[in-house]
Structure 1
Amino acid sequence: MSFLIDSSIMITSQIRQYVVQVIFSVTFAFSCTMFELIIFEILGVLNSSSRYFHWKMNLCVILLILVFMVPFYIGYFIVSNIRLLHKQRLLFSCLLWLTFMYFFWKLGDPFPILSPKHGILSIEQLISRVGVIGVTLMALLSGFGAVNCPYTYMSYFLRNVTDTDILALERRLLQTMDMIISKKKRMAMARRTMFQKGEVHNKPSGFWGMIKSVTTSASGSENLTLIQQEVDALEELSRQLFLETADLYATKERIEYSKTFKGKYFNFLGYFFSIYCVWKIFMATINIVFDRVGKTDPVTRGIEITVNYLGIQFDVKFWSQHISFILVGIIIVTSIRGLLITLTKFFYAISSSKSSNVIVLLLAQIMGMYFVSSVLLIRMSMPLEYRTIITEVLGELQFNFYHRWFDVIFLVSALSSILFLYLAHKQAPEKQMAP
């Protein structure tokens, strides 16, 4: 768990605004508290009334942050970066927040997400719309991760790179650099010659002298322009060759790493995740076509099928509780870790002194919606007796809709990722580089 704390500290330490640090930290803390309460439900920690109170308070606080505070401060810092609106930034911040609330509320119209009897500011109204955004984000990331993970781990997808390929590409790179140097020397000598002629010779007199000087300078500048264009093209080629060389070195290191024990272990994981990806795509398709949502959690269902098939005496309820606890714990840790890694990379890639506050608040918004939606989906992975309080707190939501929506977005994301990685793999340079 130290990695999770370090990641949040690294993000917030880059921010000078105290309110941004507090919002991000509180969002992260209450998001982790929700997962802690899930584990408490499975282990039976605290009384049921106490767990219900903490669930209710936790959801109210995180919805207050996600729907009211974070959007307002995002608009506030955006307006603060615009000089023309600096004096009336509070007014324009409120207008931006009202615009967000309008579209946030209209988001629930196309989806059958809850019963119409709930009030405007009820938990059900807010969490249902947050759930649509969060489940969409989760499905997109899960679909890409399910395809990209085996593609990254499996040595089957590695290109066959040899030392000859690397030497040939390095030779081309050196030749290109030599051509760039020689052309830049020519340009420098031409400029020096033109400068000396302009300094030594007197200005030409007469009509024909003027025409001669104009044509000579025009031809000289035209030659310099053509050489400069050639240099620009060669410099772009050198950049591409350098990137290809670095890619070949990285691929060669991955090939050598795949031959080690750890590399073989990750290669095995790649095959396992590829089977999981195919199974997940198949099950998502079945769920969409037949409009099916599981009523029993996967652990209990799997144990029941195994016990009935083998015909042995087995305490399904006892072991499903412990295995569900382990499974939910793994899902929680990997979800938080994966999301924080992605958010940290994203923050360092695009942050600047002016945009860092807005980016951190956007990351807090994404993180909060992601974790709230995780609770909606993890609920199905828990045995029925452990879902009671979570179902009561979340209210009369259409839980089946969220699982079907997840399957639809996951399927689209996974198939799009397969197509994208296939095209990228086919377009990657193989061994066509001649020495």
Structure 2
Amino acid sequence: MFPFDFLVSLCSSHSGGSCDAKPPPPPIASLLPFVAIFLVTSTVAHRRILPALSTLIPPSHDGDDHLLPTHAPAALRAAHSDYARKTPRRRAAALAFSSTLGLAFTLDLVVPGLVVCLVLLIPWLEVMSIVVGSGRSFARDAKGRAPRVTWILQLLLFSTWLFLFWSVGGALRRVEIDSSDASIMRASLDRIGIAGVCIMALLSGFAAVSAPWHTFGSPASRRPVSDADIARKQAGLEAAADMLVAKRHRLQVLENKAAEASSATSSVGFVGKMFSSLRGISSEEAEIRSLRLEISGLETMRASLEVGLSSMLARKLAKARAASLAGRLLSMPNYVFSVYCIFRVFTTALAILRRMVSPSSDITPADPITRTLSLLSTHYDPSLDKDALARQISFLLSGVILLLSLSSVLQTLTLLSRFAPSLLRLAQANLALLLAQTVATYVFSSALLLRSNLPAGMRGAVGDALRSSLEPAVVEAWFQGWFLVGCAATATAIWVGRRISGDDDDGWDDNFAAEEMGQKRS
């Protein structure tokens, strides 16, 4: 995470020269490697990772009232996609995504910039996406006036986020904040560190339950997937997309007509406005409301169909691999990984129970992989602390759990998305921003844990460089608790979902798709 020479120079400045260290290099020369890392990471994130994530966003609507039918030619699709990438909101999101990933990999030099991205910039863009998803628009009207209600809602939600961010951290740790920038930065990063630990623990708990469930216990993973099932799902998805384009176009026409009518009635006197208000809503306004509800339902169904289709394709590919001996051998790591996830859940629960019985003891959950890696590391360097190293490896393996169980996570989301479709749609719209937040907070939380294996003087120096005062024991305890919360919540959600939907994971989407296709033909 940090170069050794840089850590030694920090230790020298922190402990009054208690460490034997050489003088630090000139400031400009020492900055060049970190600037290069930031530029390379940001460029790769902007040119490689973001285009790959953009393919998950539905291409028929660019968020700027420009609609594109699903049967449009390739040249028109390319022009539409190029225009969508150049919209101000997409450019701001792309800049925030690449900058956040770049700042996360050059953490020690750009801590203030990372705080601005994680606390201000990315939440501002996410709140803007929520406001736009609710039917509001930030575009100016025909007279060039800004939408006052939309901006008031944006500022209100963003202020609520800032209040929750600060108040939750204050309830967690009583941090006294004075007027200096350093103490505010330290308190902010304490909250970001705890948030990163909680997020990674919840996501790892979600993945640690999803992987064994879809490997051993899910009926859908054992059910064969035929080409007819995939074709039916694909037909339902195309029908939903076509109907969505048609209804959005109709809504756009009615909204333009309503805007022209409102601008025409603005010159009417007081008596005319009073009589128009007494008439109630017109048929066009009622149709606009109805179309918005239908569009919301179609967006929900399309998102669920997309996730369901990708899940069915993954299951079919897995069944094809399992038909051969080589495929069965290649699938063995999945079973080993699922067994490790189960063992990890039990060891974490046992560590929490032991901590409840003996709060003063320092207990680290010891699964075989974590213990083996820590023992090998101590053979390489006997001065390392085995318990501290086990804590670090345990937290780093949580990221590995999340990375290796993405397929199971997507299949679990397919089951849960039907009960919270709006959250799934919102997550798809902010996928790049959410990923940047998760990566940045994970890097910062990992840096906090890595302090525990350093000498005392260097440990304090790294804490000063990170502007954080959180102790590794606090971070570990919070991670274990939230990891079990994520496991319990995921297991409960899967059980409730199975009780409601039964054994048929795909029937819900297919039934609604058939209804929508029938409406389209009629």
Structure 2 residue aligned with 1:149: 211
Q: Which residue of 1 aligns with 2:437?
A: 368
2:161 paired with 1:100: yes
Counterpart in the other structure of 1:185 = none
Rounded to whole Å, the distance in 1 between the matches of 2:330 and 2:217 is 9
Q: Distance in 1 between matches of 2:373 and 2:313?
A: 47
Q: Distance in 2 between matches of 1:332 and 1:379?
A: 15
CA gap of 1:284–1:5, structure 2 versus 1, over 3 A, is: farther
* Higher RCO, Cα 8 Å, sep 6+: 1
Name the residue aligned to 1:216. Answer: none
The alignment status of 1:391 with 2:463, answered yes or no, reads: yes
Closer, same or farther: CA 24–92 of 1 in aligned 2, 3 Å: same
Instruction: Provide closer, same or farther for how the CA distance between residues 161 and 277 of structure 1 changes in structure 2, counting only shifts above 3 A.
Output: closer
| Amino acid across the alignment from 2:163 | Y
Counterparts of 2:370 and 2:223, CA distance in 1: 47
1:136-285 correspondence to structure 2 within 5 Å: 136-153=198-215, 254-261=318-325, 263-285=327-349
Amino acid in structure 1 at the alignment position of 2:48:
D
Amino acid at match of 1:102: F
**What letter matches 2:476 in structure 1?**
H
Aligned AA for 1:270? N
Shift of 1:420: 4.4
**Do the aligned partners of residues 421 and 268 (structure 1) sit closer, same or farther apart at CA in structure 2, a change above 3 Å counting?**
farther
| Per-residue deviation, 1:108 | 1.7
Please name the residue that 1:133 is paired with: 195
Q: Is residue 2:83 matched to residue 1:31?
A: no
Q: Write the distance in 2 (CA, Å) between the matches of 1:383 and 1:398.
A: 8
Paired residues of 1:4 and 1:336 also in contact (CA < 8 A)? no
Select 1:415's aligned residue among 488, 496, 500: 488
**Relative to 1, partners in 2 of residues 1:278 and 1:285: Cα closer, same or farther, differing over 3 Å?**
same
Shift of 1:307: 9.6
Q: 1:61, CA displacement in angstroms?
A: 0.5
Query: Following the alignment from structure 1 to structure 2, what is the Cα–Cα distance between the partners of residues 59 and 263?
Result: 46
Equivalent AA in structure 2 for residue 21 of structure 1: R
Aligned pairs, how many? 324
How far apart in 2 are the matches of 1:300 and 1:276?
Answer: 11
Deviation, 1:255, is: 3.7
Is the contact made by 1:136 and 1:405 (CA closer than 8 Å) also made in structure 2? Answer: yes
Deviations 1:175-194 (A, max 9, x none): xxxxxxxxxxxxxxxxxxxx
Q: Deviations over 1:117-136 (max 9, x none)?
A: 56575222212223343333
- 1:212-231 per-position Cα deviation (integer Å, ceiling 9, x unaligned): xxxxxxxxxxxxxxxxxxxx
Secondary structure in structure 1 of the residue aligned to 2:331? helix
Amino acid at match of 2:201: A
Is 1:31–1:372's contact at 8 Å kept on the other side of the alignment? no
One-letter amino acid matched to 1:137: I
Q: Which amino acid aligns with 1:144?
A: F
- Does structure 2 retain, via aligned residues, the 8 Å contact 1:139–1:406? yes
Q: Distance in 2 between matches of 1:429 and 1:155?
A: 14
CA RMSD of aligned residues (A): 5.6
Residue identity in the other structure for 2:503: A
1:17 is aligned to 87
Specify the code of the residue in structure 1 equivalent to 2:441: V
| Cα pair 1:144 1:413 within 8 Å, conserved | yes
Whether the aligned pair in 2 keeps the contact of 1:258 and 1:264 (CA below 8 Å) is yes
AA in 2 matched with 1:359: A
CA distance in 2, matches of 1:11, 1:429: 30
**Residues 71 and 97 in structure 1, CA contact (< 8 A), matched pair in contact too:** yes
TM-score scaled by structure 1?
Answer: 0.54
* One-letter code aligned to 1:64: V
Q: State the Cα distance separating 1:111 from its structure 2 match.
A: 1.0
Q: Give the 3-state SS of the residue equivalent to 2:171 in structure 1.
A: coil
Q: Distance in 2 between matches of 1:261 and 1:157?
A: 23
Q: Which amino acid aligns with 2:483?
A: F
Structure 1, residues 355-378: CA drift from partner, whole Å, max 9, x if none?
999934x75256325522442146
Q: For the structure 1 residues 3 and 255, does the alpha-carbon distance in structure 2 shift closer, same or farther, using more than 3 Å as the test?
A: farther
Q: Please give the alpha-carbon distance, in whole angstroms, between the structure 2 residues aligned to 1:161 and 1:357.
A: 28
Q: Any idea what the Cα deviations from partners look like across 1:38-84, whole Å, max 9, x if unmatched? A: xxxxxxxxxxxxxxxx61x3221021122223334455563761789
Rg larger for = 1
Once the 2 structures are TM-superposed, how far is the Cα of residue 385 of structure 1 from its aligned partner? 2.6
Q: Partner residue of 1:428?
A: 503
Query: Pick from 176, 179, 184: which aligns with 1:116?
Result: 176
Shift of the alpha carbon at 1:105?
1.7
- Per the TM alignment, residue 411 of structure 1 is displaced from its structure 2 partner at its CA by 0.9
* Deviation of the 1:296 alpha carbon: 12
**Is the CA contact 1:27–1:65 (under 8 Å) kept in the aligned structure 2?**
no
CA contact (8 A) 1:142 1:410 kept: yes
Match of 1:62 in 2: 114
Contact 1:284 1:411 in 2 (8 A): yes
Q: CA offsets per residue over residues 125-164 of structure 1, 9 Å max, x none?
A: 212223343333222221121122233346997766689x
Mapped partners of 1:21, 1:73: distance in 2: 11
Q: Which residue of 2 aligns with 1:359?
A: 429
Letter in 2 for 1:376: S
Q: 1:295 to 1:359 in 2, by over 3 A?
A: same
Selected match of 1:402 from 467, 475, 478? 475
Question: Cα deviation per residue 1:257-283 (whole Å; 9 max; x = unaligned)?
Answer: 224355324532233223322222123
Counterparts in 2 of 1:94 and 1:130: CA distance versus 1, 3 Å: same
Task: Name the stretch that deviates more: 83-92 or 9-18.
Answer: 83-92
